Structure 1
Amino acid sequence: MNPGTYLGTVDLTIVAPAFLAGILVLITHVPLGAQVLKRGIVFIDLAIAQIAALGVIVAGMTNLDPQGWLLQVAAGTAALLGAFLLTWTEKRWPEVQEAQIGVLFILAATGGLLLVAHNPHGGEHLQDLLAGQILWVRYEQLLIPAIGTAAIVAMLLFFKERLRRLGFYLVFALAVTASVQLVGVYLVFASLIVPSLGVRNYGGQKRLPLAYLIGIGGYGAGLLLSTIFDLPSGALIVWCLALLAILVYASGPRKELAPN
């Protein structure tokens, strides 16, 4: 069948809240991603996101309401504990911090596998946390993330680049907590890192607006294409983000290589 015949079936009542969820994620993740690249701790987002996902799994074992605030508290608590742990390891062994972040990620990931090993729906739940179910987000699910986003934006504007190690990790943990449940671990990582990579050679005033455009374009194109071609939304958004970032990077200024 001609893909064009699907265009009439695109349901904006489904796409619109999913796109809004993506915007909420991008509002905080784009500036935080720039800080992650600047600090050279690229995989912290994967680690914190996976720890937040582990908190969701643990909370889910107690039959909490999947949309309730107690589940958000459980995920946030897990992410904050991870942030405190990473702060401590960076103070104690700063020369191997990236390796420690990787170890923490793999421990959280395998911990989740162990916890759902005897759950008949465990594999499906893990898949949802990793790849996300952004296309099925509803407006009522966005209230708590919207409040959290507003609070994080206020903190980022107030402190700007004065956030020290612990403050940055804590703000980062709070930002990742809600977004993992909205869009999944893969999209959290892509939203943080991909736009910032695409604009890294641009001047300071252009960098942030262009990064946001990459993010907005990637989410919009990915959601529309996923409904037209009936493909997984999260995976397609990641690819759209990457392709747009490559295009923006290729169209931008070249960084001068240092002489030998």
Structure 2
Amino acid sequence: MGYLQIHAEILWPALLAGLLVLSTHVPLGREVLLRGIIFLDLAIAQTAAFGVMLANTLWVNRHGDHHHFSTTIIAVVAAIAGSVILYTIRKLEVRVQEAFIGILFVLMATGIILILSADPHGGERLKEILAGQILWLQASDLLQLFFVYVVILILWFLSQEKIGEWLFYPFFAVTITLSTQVVGVYLVFASLIIPSFCTLYQKKPLIKSYLIGITGYMTGLIVSASLNLPAGATIVWCLAAIGCLYFLFTGGLIMRKANTNKRKEH
């Protein structure tokens, strides 16, 4: 306990960041699952990461330092561009959509490697954008995220039924871009999919998903601080572990429901 108290100044901003990410990613993740576009978020997160790296590289080469606002704008533009591409193919066969999403993902992933190929610190920067640096966040770093997410949540819950596909994709892209810069690609995907998947066919899914997500983040941060493990990767594993425990506790409702739906189709 003493160890955790000593590191409380590091842990609470990280937990606050996790709560902010979950606040938007749980409802968006459920929407992604219901729409059947599960890997959309991973492709858009990778596109946002590509935009971040491109912006940082161009800005640093020209000005010699980083500029967060310019980086965010370029990353948002890149993510929205990727979402527009995916929006245009939304009516195609599912296998075709999945192929496009896979191609976009691999292009953005390898694009990042090409951008960082001449950077002596490229490996570390790649690790940061994928796994995040959640333990090193300050409360001041989260102010912009807080205000933007408040607007996003208000718009989402007040006009969810009115948000058509043409607006959902860029809406989703902006949210994913901001989160990727804070917690990294892996945590973005895990926060979107794991809590929502575990409560997919249950009543009051949002409340249960939030509880799974919060428990996963809290457990991951404590384990990470106690064992000196990378925070982002640890939280992903803890989210998965909490999700599995919840899945077992609820008796595998998801699998039973999926099997029932499959039998109905036949």
Same fold (TM over 0.5): yes
Q: Which residue of 1 aligns with 2:214?
A: 216
**Amino acid of the structure 1 residue aligned with 2:188:** V
Q: Which stretch of structure 1 is more off in the superposition, 75-84 or 247-256?
A: 247-256
Alignment partners' CA distance in 1, 2:4 and 2:184: 28
CA displacement at 1:140 relative to structure 2: 1.2
Further displaced range: 20-29 or 242-251: 242-251
Where do residues 1-260 of structure 1 align in structure 2 (5 Å cutoff)?
7=3, 10-61=6-57, 62-63=59-60, 66=66, 68-91=68-91, 93-95=92-94, 96-203=96-203, 206-252=204-250, 254=253, 255-256=256-257, 257-258=259-260
Q: Tell me, yes or no, if the aligned pair for 1:26 and 1:212 is still in contact at 8 Å.
A: yes
Show structure 1 runs of 5+ residues with no match: none
Q: Distance in 2 between matches of 1:220 and 1:209?
A: 17
Partner-residue secondary structure (3-state), 2:119: coil
Normalised by the length of structure 2, the TM-score is: 0.90
Determine which structure has the larger helix proportion and give its number: 2
Letter in 2 for 1:87: Y
Tell me the percent identity. 44
Aligned partners of 2:4 and 2:225 also within 8 Å: no
| CA distance in 2 between partners of 1:148 and 1:105 (Å) | 26
Structure 2 counterpart of 1:171, which letter? F
Give the conservation status (yes or no) of the 8 Å contact 1:10–1:224: no
TM-align CA RMSD: 1.8
Residue type matched to 2:12 in 1? Answer: A
> Tell me, what secondary structure is at the counterpart of 1:120?
coil
Partner Cα distance (1:67, 1:183) in 2: 18
Distance 1:67 1:16 in 2: 26
The whole-number CA distance in structure 2 between the counterparts of 1:129 and 1:10 is: 27
Post-superposition Cα deviations, 1:209-241, rounded to whole Å, max 9, x if no partner, equal 010001111111101110111001011100110
Q: Offset at 1:162?
A: 3.3
- The answer to whether the Cα contact below 8 Å between 1:199 and 1:245 also exists between their aligned partners in 2 is no
Alignment partners' CA distance in 2, 1:225 and 1:202: 29
Kept after mapping to 1: 8 A contact 2:56/2:67: no
Per-residue deviation at 1:10?
4.2
Gaps of 5+ in 2: none
Q: Which moved more, 1:246-255 or 1:54-63?
A: 246-255
Shift of 1:52: 0.5
Q: Distance in 1 between matches of 2:242 and 2:125?
A: 30
SS at 1:167 equivalent: helix
| Distance apart, 1:89 and its partner CA | 2.4
When residues 211 and 8 of structure 1 are mapped into structure 2, their CA distance, relative to the original with a 3 A threshold, is closer
| Native 8 Å contact 1:10 1:227 kept in 2 | no
1:198-219 residue CA offsets vs partner (Å, 9 max, x unmatched): 112312xx21101000111111
What is the total number of aligned residue pairs between the two structures?
Answer: 253
